[in-house]
Amino acid sequence: MDAAIDPATGLPVDLLDFAPDTSVYEAMVAGGPPAWLDELRLDTGGAHHHMGTHATTLDGWLLADEARDMELALRSRLLDERRDVVHACPAGAEPVAAATLELVVDWLDEHGIPYDPPDPAEPPLVAAGRLVQEDLCLMIHRDGAWHLDAGVLCFPTLWDLRDRLGLATPDVHERVAHYDEIEQRVDRFFDRLPADRVVWRRNFSVKPYPHLHVPVVKSELPTGAHSVGADGSPYWLRSERQTVRRLTDHPAIVFAIRVQTVPAGVLRERPDIAAALGAHLRGLDAELSDYKFAGSDLHVAFTGWLDEIAADR
């Protein structure tokens, strides 16, 4: 039997119990919009031809902020109650998983971030997933290609770890619009990445909900009419800060994904970002529009709201 769908969010009702405490996010932007808005790549036309990566230091590998306690509590619940959905680590990937846990613990120690010691009885990626706000996907080089061979994925953006486990990079991204245009560059980038070098990139999306745990495919989301309140409700900006770090002693890469989300209303204080975002959304070709919005008219309503904000500059 198909899962019941919540009409307000379009999500399966069994996911609603894993909603974050949005008051934490609202408090974080009480003093103004987040700085990461300026990191969004809002090109118009041809942006999909670029990987959009930037180098950073090892200090910038992970992030910890005011949402840490709330998000770690939610991650622990998911790891306890939905482990079959959010964690996978076949036997062949266990050494890489153990090395990843060591890196996570070292990073927390080096930055003076308190944490509860990992339980040695738990799988390494489960333990790591309780310590950081990032999801951790392990890309392992074998059989001449990079494969997604393990991961802890508590906060996926419309995909399911179980569907992609063991797949080579192109197959992992088969639903990503225009990925075929950068596929070879991504593989070469992974091949040439020096050990312990960190690079990052961002993406963004607009969602009619603040939920972080969204392991559903786009075809499961409703496509009905959408409207936007004067304050941007019920919409949220969702951004993934993705970092890539190659391990020293294994032919593997840790792909870390940090989801950050804010009420769309923060754009009222950044009409410049609203204008750029509106132009970006209007410039999407059919393939990108379908990928981001699954055939819904969300972007039409939201772009109109952005235009209203930009006009007030």
Beta-carbon neighbour count of residue 126 at 10 Å? 22
Q: What is the pLDDT of residues 248-270, one digit of tens each?
A: 999 999 999 999 999 999 999 99
What CA–CA distances, in Å, run from 32 to 35, 37, 267? 9, 11, 10
CA-only gyration radius of the chain, Å = 19
User: Cα(149)–Cα(269) distance, rounded to whole angstroms?
Assistant: 42
Sign of the Cα torsion 160, 163, 169, 173 reads negative
pLDDT in tens, the chain (313 residues): 467 888 878 889 999 999 999 999 999 999 999 999 999 988 765 544 556 789 999 999 999 999 999 999 999 999 999 999 999 999 999 999 999 999 999 999 999 999 999 999 999 999 999 999 999 999 999 999 899 999 999 999 989 999 999 998 876 766 655 545 556 676 788 888 888 789 999 999 888 899 999 998 866 656 566 788 999 999 999 999 999 999 999 999 999 999 999 999 999 999 999 999 999 888 877 666 665 665 566 677 888 999 999 887 6
Domain ranges of the chain: 13-226+240-264
Give the DSSP H or E segment for 87: strand 87-88
The pTM of the full predicted model, rounded to 2 decimals, is 0.92
Each residue's pLDDT tens digit, 82-107: 999 999 999 999 999 999 999 999 99
Nearest alpha-carbon partner for 24 in 63, 93, 59, 70 = 70
